[in-house]
Structure 1
Amino acid sequence: MNPNDLVQFLKKDPKDFTKDDIIRFCEENKIEMVNFRYVAADGRLKTLNFVLSSKEYLDTILSDGERVDGSSLFPFIEAGSSDLYVIPRYSTAFMDPFAEVPTLDILCSFYDNTGKPLASSPEYILRQAAIAFKRETGMDYKCLGELEYYVISDVDEIYPGVDQKGYHESAPYCKFAEMRTQALLMVARAGGKIKYGHSEVGCFTKDGKYYEQHEIEFLPCDPILAVEQLIIAKWVLRMLGSQYGVEVSFAPKITVGKAGSGMHFHMLAEKNGRNVMVKDGKLSDTAKKMIAGILDIGDAITAFGNPIPTSYLRLVPHQEAPTYICWGDRNRSVVVRVPLGWTGSTDMAIEANFGLKRRVEKASKQTFEYRVADGAADVYETVASLIIGAMHGLSMPNALEMADKLYASGNIFDKEYASFLKKLRQLPTSCSESADVLLKNRKLFEKDGIFPPGVIDAQAKKLKAFKDAGLSDKLLGNEKEFAKLVQKYIHIG
């Protein structure tokens, strides 16, 4: 039932695709063009087009890749020695759903002039983090992203949506449900492992425009795929938005007092293919240690997960976005949330279906969720940072003690938690603060060679350049300046 065209044709798992498979698919499906796709520093998919003039030419580009100007893609690459190679990864191939002629797209990795992987490439940083996690822990790290976005259109007075009541709304009150389902199908055909899609809380009208929020959530998978399906989904949604004549924005904040768009990451660890986040029906010590490590560097992770000034206009109290570094169960006011995971429940399908018997053993679906990052995130680096935090926690001698101290069983803004709040560290309130905590924790990020020092320096420099210290206070009550700043970053990432 895999919707990917190449999987259906080749009868193979994508990880087993070979160069000969790609060539055979192109020959037999009359592919006219191949696009190399890769992600630059701005987080967007770039494109290099190849018209297929012969089988030999296709073989050449699949074997050797092509040269690109790295200085135009990444700020840390000097123009004097900027040539990079882009090398296709066959497992990522998919049919371009928007091309006018049969076109195959393939994601690429960056290699330097010596033929080695570019150490500062975001994709390589994440790959190194995943390898280090496996090497250090003997476990596999899996994760999934939640992609929230707004569709911005002209106001339609028929079946108006209810302000901030859009959660799981259906058509006709949800205006862009069909656009979302189209996106789900296209992303799935491109190799995305989708869990579901739905409309989100954000729904409002402002200055003659209608704003409707949606979410696509994916299934747990390898970190590289987890990130790249988010990037493809962003591209698909923007392309569909262009066809519909509407804007699609992943910006962390749209306006004052309305729901912002986060990019939450659920994660788990597997040992020999089994989820180890639960033991004896409860959250395991392994999970608690991973959570403690992520909380310990949670403020520094914002350097990649919240990299623009409007990121910090979303991280405010009482907006279902975290501000204090703590964790809890089913609690949306914390940095790390442990959602329902079918733990300790009866087999509800038997109850709902009057005795229907389950045929296979019930596998654990338990994850924990990092709720801080947003749609502007440097996604490869954010997930790499989460892996670093999880490894850090597993090696911390006081991890379980820290987890106990930082646990909140209820809403941390209730009166009963007043003394608890006073003991907690807060997340940064600006890009400038985020840069400071990144530099303070840089040794942990650079450990095992995961983040090259130059990448840390470049990220801190970029964040500092915003000069946004105290921005929230400066914008308080000034809706015109707030709107101006939001518009500046409306199409970030």
Structure 2
Amino acid sequence: MRVAEAFEPEALERLVLRGDVRYFSVIFQDLDGRIHERVLKAKNPEALTGGFRVDGYSLGLASIEDSDLTVIPDPSTLRLVNSPLGRTAILIGDLYYGSKPLPTYSRHILREVAEKLGFDPLVGLEVEFYLTSGYKPADNGYYWSPLSSTASSFLAGVIEELENAGIGVHSAHHEVGPGQYELLPEPMSPLAAADALLLIKKVVWHKAAQHGLSATFMPKPFTGLPGSGLHLHLSAHRNGSNILVEDGQLTEQGLSFIAGLLAHARANALLTNPTVNSYKRLIPGFEAPVLVAWGVGNRSVLVRVPRGPRGASGTVEYRLPDSSGNVYLALAAVLSAGADGLSRSLKPPPPCSENAYKLAGLEAVPRTLHEAASLAGSATLPEGGGREAIGLLVASKLEEWESYISSTGATPSQTEVTEWELKRYFDR
């Protein structure tokens, strides 16, 4: 059954009658990156097609005096998964104001950006997270360490669930930190990749709970341990050819794409790294970028060109983002930055072949959420809804920063993870 057919009321009813689905779940992200969900008994599938009224004020997307928005499920996103509810059909919802798409809704913004790039992008995600028990790492593993029976069962369950839902997973492994893991979904279009991340989070949370554990995508849950990023592997295609890399070498367009990423990295940081805790990850010594530089095979820089057996592997890796915020906004900003580099034929600085942490004179990424918010006015989101969304997000993040400062009562540490952060971000 094709997805479009599956969303027809008659086809949905057949799913219910066959026992293929017990519940429908409609999910979406707010500007802050939190996932929202409404669950319906499967016996009432016709309720999906008309959408649902939602409080836009509580989502930070509307004023209290004019707060009614509508969530309408996107039929192309229907995925069947096994959840704690039982067999569940999950759909991503789009937000509307009246009969028109809400301009500040991040999924609409990414869709608009992708349509105007001038190339066809593919996005590969490196999704890092910690498996925990009682707010502590669940194991003492290390980078690519052999998997315990619990970890093997957990990862197999996650991969099989995602594969059965139509999301291919290239591989998975233990990451550097104890209890830290990485999933690598197959490359997808930007919208599909962003949608997939929401489902990946839900599946990881559910499977962890089945093993009596918790999973956190928090950028830096533990002081002194590696942070969890969301590295983006980007390629750009025209007429079926990758315009960034040819025969194992970066093209002139590839260099311009990298230059665009670097030129806008600081202004886009609020969208790629949108929490107080994000900046606890961006410190030297943990393979997280702190300086605006690029290189080939160099994991100390912000933009890395992975090296394969025949030279450049075909993608450009953007290492700044994490999973704590709105993935649609992050992808929209990063792809727009690369596209700007292409349109203006920008030239990057020479590649960095040294340990960037030990170099002086390079521009630094923002060190705090407050600094990132002060730079976000120049972020690469489109005029109209994109600019409005930035304004809403900046206001929200400045309040978040003030709350953090008030809670600490002193000059905040760049490295120490606080109880305030754990309470606010651990379940993201």
TM-score > 0.5, shorter chain as reference: yes
Please show how residues 110-189 of structure 1 align to structure 2 within 5 Å.
Answer: 110-113=95-98, 115-133=99-117, 137=118, 139-153=119-133, 161=140, 166-172=142-148, 175-189=150-164
Task: Report the Cα offset of residue 29 of structure 1.
Answer: 4.2
Task: Report the Cα offset of residue 340 of structure 1.
Answer: 2.4
29 and 311 in structure 1: CA distance in 2 versus 1, 3 angstrom threshold: same
Match of 2:355 among 411, 424, 428: 411
Matched residue, 1:82:
67
Matched residue, 2:77:
92
1:445 maps to amino acid: L
Alpha-carbon separation, structure 1, partners of 2:13 and 2:64: 35
Select the structure of larger CA radius of gyration: 1
More helix by share: 1
Alpha-carbon separation, structure 2, partners of 1:299 and 1:129: 20
Q: Is the 8 A contact 2:16 2:42 kept in 1?
A: no
Q: Is the 8 A contact 1:36 1:48 kept in 2?
A: yes
**CA deviation digits over 1:327-356, x for unaligned, max 9?**
011111111111124535xxxxxxxxxxxx
Matched residue, 1:366:
314
Q: Which 5+ residue runs of structure 1 have no aligned equivalent?
A: 1-9, 204-211, 345-363
Matched residue, 2:252:
285
Secondary structure, aligned partner of 1:295: helix
Alpha-carbon separation, structure 2, partners of 1:247 and 1:320: 25
**CA deviation digits over 1:353-397, x for unaligned, max 9?**
xxxxxxxxxxx9611111111121321100000111011101224
Q: Percent identity?
A: 27
Q: Is the 8 A contact 1:145 1:265 kept in 2?
A: yes
Secondary structure, aligned partner of 2:160: helix
Alpha-carbon separation, structure 1, partners of 2:189 and 2:309: 22
Task: Report the Cα offset of residue 305 of structure 1.
Answer: 1.4
Matched residue, 1:217:
184
Which deviates more from structure 2 when the two are superposed, residues 429-438 or residues 90-99?
90-99
Q: Is the 8 A contact 2:229 2:322 kept in 1?
A: yes
Q: Is the 8 A contact 2:280 2:414 kept in 1?
A: no
Task: Report the Cα offset of residue 16 of structure 1.
Answer: 7.6
**CA deviation digits over 1:138-193, x for unaligned, max 9?**
x201112111111112699x9x736xxx1111133x75232122112112222323
Residue 395 of structure 2 corresponds to residue 461 of structure 1: yes
**CA deviation digits over 1:228-286, x for unaligned, max 9?**
11111111111222222222111111233211111111111111233222124311122
Q: Is the 8 A contact 1:275 1:365 kept in 2?
A: no
Alpha-carbon separation, structure 1, partners of 2:195 and 2:135: 33
Match of 1:313 among 280, 286, 300: 280
317 and 88 in structure 1: CA distance in 2 versus 1, 3 angstrom threshold: same
Matched residue, 1:431:
369
Matched residue, 1:68:
54
Task: Report the Cα offset of residue 222 of structure 1.
Answer: 0.8
Residue 338 of structure 2 corresponds to residue 390 of structure 1: yes
**CA deviation digits over 1:74-100, x for unaligned, max 9?**
213112222222222222112231244
Alpha-carbon separation, structure 1, partners of 2:54 and 2:177: 40
Alpha-carbon separation, structure 2, partners of 1:26 and 1:285: 54
Secondary structure, aligned partner of 1:95: strand
Q: Is the 8 A contact 1:251 1:489 kept in 2?
A: no
Q: Is the 8 A contact 1:22 1:90 kept in 2?
A: no
The count of aligned residue pairs is: 421
Alpha-carbon separation, structure 1, partners of 2:66 and 2:11: 35
Task: Report the Cα offset of residue 15 of structure 1.
Answer: 7.0
26 and 277 in structure 1: CA distance in 2 versus 1, 3 angstrom threshold: farther
1:429 maps to amino acid: R
Matched residue, 1:51:
41
Alpha-carbon separation, structure 1, partners of 2:411 and 2:97: 44
| Cα-Cα RMSD | 2.8
Secondary structure, aligned partner of 1:217: strand
Q: Is the 8 A contact 2:34 2:326 kept in 1?
A: no
**CA deviation digits over 1:86-118, x for unaligned, max 9?**
2222221122312445432222211111x1111
Secondary structure, aligned partner of 2:175: strand
2:27 maps to amino acid: R
16 and 287 in structure 1: CA distance in 2 versus 1, 3 angstrom threshold: farther
Q: Is the 8 A contact 2:121 2:190 kept in 1?
A: yes
Secondary structure, aligned partner of 1:366: coil
Alpha-carbon separation, structure 1, partners of 2:220 and 2:274: 13
Secondary structure, aligned partner of 1:184: helix
- TM value normalised by structure 2: 0.89
99 and 161 in structure 1: CA distance in 2 versus 1, 3 angstrom threshold: closer
Residue 171 of structure 2 corresponds to residue 237 of structure 1: no
Matched residue, 2:174:
199
Matched residue, 1:272:
239
Task: Report the Cα offset of residue 464 of structure 1.
Answer: 2.0
Secondary structure, aligned partner of 1:63: helix
Q: Is the 8 A contact 1:339 1:369 kept in 2?
A: yes
Matched residue, 1:207:
none
1:386 maps to amino acid: V
Q: Is the 8 A contact 2:147 2:174 kept in 1?
A: no
